[in-house]
Amino acid sequence: MKALGILFITVLTLITGCRTSPPDVATNFDPITGARTDLMSENILETPQTPPREVVWLNASRLDNTYSRRKGTYYLEVMYQALTDTGYLDILFGTSLILNVDGKEMRFTGNGSYNKRKSSKKGYVTETALYEVTRPQLDQIAHAKQVKVRIKGNNGLVERDFAPENFKRFEQFLARARG
């Protein structure tokens, strides 16, 4: 009986230890207001460059706004990370995120990354920028055949293409983020 218990704990540890990645879409509820937040994170846009000069994520979120009785506001979030030597992209205020979705350009305007920059002691810099997006635009992105991403900054331009995994994650986000 004792050997069976040890075997069970070992198997359980192996199973739970293998799950290290976050869920594709996380949903949180505010216990006081009941507001719902859906978040797709860790949606990395791969680069063929080895080693990469910078790492870029394009995430999505939906925030409930129960006070104004809106169905929710959707956002795209660009996260940029690079070595300190490479430096910040310095994402611009205004139209700094451009997606080419099946040949049609979608331009997104945001407040830039000025107040959302961090440097770590490990030798990295990170910055984040948010852009409001509509659900129909997210539908177009998720169901496109090809998406090219351009992020403009004062210190350069970063370009990436969607991989099959990126489309899948956007589809999962839309299935979960109702409203």
Question: What are the pLDDT digits (tens) for 32-84?
Answer: 777 777 788 999 999 988 889 999 999 999 987 655 555 789 999 999 999 99
Instruction: List pLDDT tens digits, range 91-148.
Output: 999 999 999 999 999 999 999 998 898 988 899 999 999 999 999 999 999 999 999 9
> Is the pLDDT higher at 175 or at 5?
175
Each domain of the chain, given as residue ranges in start order, spans 26-176
pLDDT score of 58: 97
Identity of the amino acid at 177: A
Task: Give the H or E element holding residue 125.
Answer: strand 124-133
Confidence at residue 160, expressed as pLDDT on a 0 to 100 scale: 97
Per-residue model confidence (pLDDT) at position 34: 73
Average pLDDT over residues 7-23: 43
Q: What is the pTM of this model?
A: 0.81
Q: 125 with 119: CB under 8 angstroms?
A: yes
Phi, psi of 42 (to 5 degrees): 60, 30
Apex 122 CA angle, 23 and 153, nearest 5: 75
Using 50, 70 and 90 to split pLDDT, how confident is the model at 23? Answer: low
Return the CATH architecture of domain 26-176.
Sandwich (2.60)
Query: What is the Cα–Cα distance from 98 to 52, expressed in whole angstroms?
Result: 21
d(CA 131, CA 127): 14
pLDDT at 112: 93
